[in-house]
């Protein structure tokens, strides 16, 4: 019996953080790496909205920082197969880190840290953060990063071959 040829499927998706379009041919290595990162991101506040009346910015920042280590680990395990050209999973993942998340954290982390260092004794972290004059602006910027991360999660789902249920959105 002759072997059947499997036709590769070309996928085109819009990327977050104004990174353009990704057009690539699906392969198992990229799908597995995308699935692994998808699972990590969908379970973290990095890609989930932070309610204006709840949550602490530091927790969201820590979640965003964790995406760097997680992504590096996944890319190292997946190997160079996921980095064969700009239209592959690896370069996209690195660009999301460097051109998306890093840009936000480079601006806001030092500002938040300086404010945190001036918290008076007896004032809760939450109350001190709420009193920060840049709290609303920072939360607005964070919400935009989280919106972009949601786009990224959708891209990862497509790369992984996941058919997301519309009710989940």
Please provide the DSSP assignment of 58-97 as one string: HHHHHHHHHHHHHHHHHHHHH-GGGGSSTTSHHHHHHHII
- How would residue 65 be classed by pLDDT, with cut points 50, 70 and 90? very high
**Whole-Å CA distances, 87 to 39, 77, 109, 167:** 22, 19, 31, 30
The yes-or-no verdict on residue 26 having pLDDT over 90 is: no
Q: State residue 165's pLDDT score.
A: 57
The yes-or-no verdict on residue 62 having pLDDT over 80 is: yes
Please indicate, yes or no, if residue 34 is contained in any of the structural domains.
yes
Q: Terminal CA-to-CA distance of the chain, rounded, Å?
A: 45
Please indicate, yes or no, if residue 4 is contained in any of the structural domains.
no
Average pLDDT over residues 101-127: 96
Q: Which three-class secondary structure state does DSSP give residue 154?
A: helix
Please indicate, yes or no, if residue 80 is contained in any of the structural domains.
yes
Q: Which three-class secondary structure state does DSSP give residue 4?
A: coil
**Taking the CB of residue 87, how many other CB atoms lie within 10 A of it?**
15
Q: State residue 5's pLDDT score.
A: 44
Residue-wise pLDDT for 30-61, tens only, equals 899 999 999 999 988 888 887 777 789 999 99
Q: State residue 16's pLDDT score.
A: 83
- How would residue 6 be classed by pLDDT, with cut points 50, 70 and 90? very low
Please indicate, yes or no, if residue 74 is contained in any of the structural domains.
yes
Between 85 and 122, residue with greater pLDDT: 122
Please indicate, yes or no, if residue 72 is contained in any of the structural domains.
yes
Whole-model pTM?
A: 0.85
The yes-or-no verdict on residue 150 having pLDDT over 60 is: yes
Q: State residue 164's pLDDT score.
A: 61
Q: State residue 9's pLDDT score.
A: 64
Please indicate, yes or no, if residue 7 is contained in any of the structural domains.
no
Q: Name the domain count of the chain.
A: 1
Q: State residue 12's pLDDT score.
A: 75
Residue 14 sits at the vertex; the CA angle it makes with 33 and 87, to the nearest 5 degrees, is 50
């Amino acid at each position: 019996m002759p072997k059947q040829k499997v036709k590769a499927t070309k996928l085109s998706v819009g990327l977050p953080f104004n990174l353009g379009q990704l057009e690539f041919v699906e392969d198992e290595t990229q799908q597995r790496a995308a699935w692994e990162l998808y699972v990590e991101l969908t379970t973290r506040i990095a890609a989930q909205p932070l309610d204006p009346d709840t949550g602490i910015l530091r927790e969201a920042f820590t979640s965003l920082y964790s995406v760097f280590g997680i992504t590096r680990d996944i890319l190292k395990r997946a190997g160079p197969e996921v980095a064969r050209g700009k239209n592959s999973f690896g370069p996209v993942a690195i660009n999301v880190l460097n051109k998306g998340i890093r840009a936000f954290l480079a601006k806001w982390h030092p500002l938040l840290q300086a404010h945190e260092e001036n918290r008076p004794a007896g004032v809760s972290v939450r109350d001190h953060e709420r009193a920060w004059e840049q709290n609303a602006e920072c939360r607005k910027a964070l919400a935009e990063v989280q919106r972009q991360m949601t786009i990224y999660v959708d891209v990862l789902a497509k790369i992984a071959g996941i058919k997301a249920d519309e009710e989940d959105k």
